[in-house]
């Protein structure tokens, strides 16, 4: 439904503002963010739309096309909501952070939310909701800031209010996304750039719906191993500020001191950071063959060095290697299950995807969910 009509169906009036923000795919740079490295993401052509208006009282009311529950709060008592209303915490958290940033508020607001992102596909609907909510609230309350600050406000809302310790990738890509571009983020300096993406590139997402039973503890373990690797390498080079600052050569020279596990984690992070640099060169020259090779190389590193892949993801990537219209593929996101992203030409179509899904289904007890998208624009005010 049109976001204006959605709002009218809930509140019987036209909204003051309508905004949109895209979902995203992690393009390359796996687990480099919290290690101070480089990462690339692409905004997709689907996302979250928000419509909002100020109220005359202090009430806050949020409704969503996809949710039966009505989330309610008040400007004088902002706190996280529970159970079936917890979806609203992303917008409430942004509201809370905007007030901390100096936004003047004298009355509440009502908001409607709609989405055309596939559920559970790892395309960061939360960041899209944060960015679209931020722009909507900024518009009705007269608050302006930079694109980078919108991303930071969204990240702080997720960290501080929702309680999810995410990095800046999701919000940065949703904020800075642009059609036919990749967003490149230096996570240590927290700077954002765009790199041209050849027109006509397609993205296919194969969501396995597999999630390792110990995924949270595995994330924590990888984080700890990376920290240990950094501390060891810092003894060899006191100038290091983060693990991603280390060179692959320094890692090799300290292989024995690192030990097998920390050595593999350090190799992945340093080589993956280098892959982001090489990807920037490949994309700037339109060399999709080289870009694809880097994507396959990234997955191989995740599989064998960072060990955050799984048989389901590996099978999909291996099958995609044999298709001429596929430039490259890799797991996207945290791993230990989840989804594979394939970068393809227009010749790759539903028939290829379904054939792969059938082969996957013969090996495992289910088929992956398939989603096709292209690059899209970042967070924006529509009307």
For 95-108, the pLDDT digits (tens) are 999 999 999 999 99
Angle (nearest 5°) at CA 303 between 211 and 177: 70
CATH topology of domain 3-198: Ribosomal Protein S5; domain 2 (3.30.230)
Q: Is the pTM of this model over 0.85?
A: yes
What's the DSSP call for residue 138?
A: H
How far apart are the C-alpha atoms of 74 and 53, rounded to whole Å? Answer: 15
How far apart are the C-alpha atoms of 310 and 65, rounded to whole Å? Answer: 34
How far apart are the C-alpha atoms of 235 and 237, rounded to whole Å? Answer: 6
Average pLDDT value for residue range 85-99: 97
How far apart are the C-alpha atoms of 208 and 366, rounded to whole Å? Answer: 8
Q: What per-residue confidence (pLDDT) applies to 121? A: 63
How far apart are the C-alpha atoms of 111 and 18, rounded to whole Å? Answer: 10
Contact 208, 224 (CB under 8 A): no
170 counts as catalytic:
yes
> Which residue in the block uniquely carries the two structure tokens 């290091």?
240
User: Which one from 170, 193, 365, 377 is the annotated catalytic residue?
Assistant: 170
Asked whether the predicted pLDDT for residue 366 surpasses 90, the reply is yes
Instruction: Specify the pairing of strand 337-344 against strand 202-211.
Output: antiparallel
Chain segment 2-16, per-residue pLDDT in tens? 999 999 999 999 999
Closest by CA to 60, choosing from 35, 22, 88, 32, is 88
Radius of gyration of the chain (CA): 21
How far apart are the C-alpha atoms of 150 and 107, rounded to whole Å? Answer: 22
Residue 50, judged by CB atoms within 10 A of its CB (0-12, 13-18, 19+), counts as buried
Which spans in the chain are helix H?
A: 3-11, 89-100, 125-141, 147-156, 169-176, 215-236, 248-253, 255-284, 288-301, 311-320, 350-363
How much helix, strand and coil, in percent to the nearest 5, is found in the chain? 45, 25, 30
Q: What per-residue confidence (pLDDT) applies to 205? A: 95
Higher pLDDT residue, 231 or 124? 231
- Three-state SS at 165: coil
Q: What per-residue confidence (pLDDT) applies to 207? A: 93
Asked whether the predicted pLDDT for residue 318 surpasses 80, the reply is yes
Instruction: Specify the pairing of strand 191-196 against strand 59-64.
Output: unpaired
How far apart are the C-alpha atoms of 195 and 40, rounded to whole Å? Answer: 9
Asked whether the predicted pLDDT for residue 67 surpasses 90, the reply is no
Chain segment 265-315, per-residue pLDDT in tens? 999 999 999 999 999 999 999 999 999 999 999 999 999 999 999 999 999
**Cα end-to-end span (Å), the chain:** 16
Asked whether the predicted pLDDT for residue 167 surpasses 90, the reply is no
């Amino acid at each position: 439904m049109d976001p204006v009509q959605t709002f009218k169906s809930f509140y019987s009036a036209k909204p003051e503002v309508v905004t949109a923000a895209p979902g995203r795919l992690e393009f390359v740079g796996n687990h480099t963010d919290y290690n101070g490295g480089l990462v690339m993401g692409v905004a997709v052509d689907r996302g979250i739309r928000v419509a909002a208006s100020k109220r005359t009282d202090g009430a806050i009311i949020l409704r969503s096309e996809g949710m039966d529950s009505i989330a309610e709060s008040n400007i004088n008592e902002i706190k996280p909501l529970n159970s079936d209303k917890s979806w609203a915490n992303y917008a409430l958290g942004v509201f809370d952070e905007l007030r901390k940033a100096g936004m003047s508020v004298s009355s509440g607001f009502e908001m409607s939310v709609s989405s055309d992102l596939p559920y559970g596909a790892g395309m960061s609907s939360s960041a899209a909701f944060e960015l679209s909510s931020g722009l909507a609230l900024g518009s009705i309350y007269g608050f302006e800031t930079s694109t980078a600050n919108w991303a930071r406000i969204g990240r702080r809302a997720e960290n501080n209010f929702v309680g999810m310790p995410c990095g800046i990738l999701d919000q940065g890509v949703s904020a800075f996304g642009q059609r036919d571009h990749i967003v490149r983020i230096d996570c240590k300096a927290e700077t954002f750039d765009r790199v041209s993406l050849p027109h006509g590139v397609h993205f296919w997402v194969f969501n396995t719906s597999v999630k390792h039973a110990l995924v949270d503890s595995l994330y924590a373990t990888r984080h700890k191993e990376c920290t240990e690797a950094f501390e060891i390498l810092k003894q060899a080079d006191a100038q290091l500020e983060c693990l991603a600052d280390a060179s692959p050569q320094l890692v090799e020279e300290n292989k024995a001191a690192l030990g097998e596990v920390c050595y593999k984690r350090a190799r992945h992070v340093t080589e993956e950071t280098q892959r982001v640099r090489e990807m920037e060169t490949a994309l700037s020259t339109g060399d999709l063959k080289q870009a694809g090779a880097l994507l396959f190389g990234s997955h191989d590193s995740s599989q064998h060095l960072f060990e955050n892949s799984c048989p389901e993801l590996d099978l999909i990537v291996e099958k995609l290697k044999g298709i001429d219209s596929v430039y490259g593929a890799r797991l996207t996101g945290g791993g230990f299950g989840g989804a594979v992203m394939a970068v393809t030409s227009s010749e790759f179509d539903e028939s290829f995807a379904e054939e792969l899904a059938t082969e996957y289904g013969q090996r495992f007890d289910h088929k992956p969910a398939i989603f096709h998208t292209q690059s899209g624009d970042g967070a924006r005010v529509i009307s």
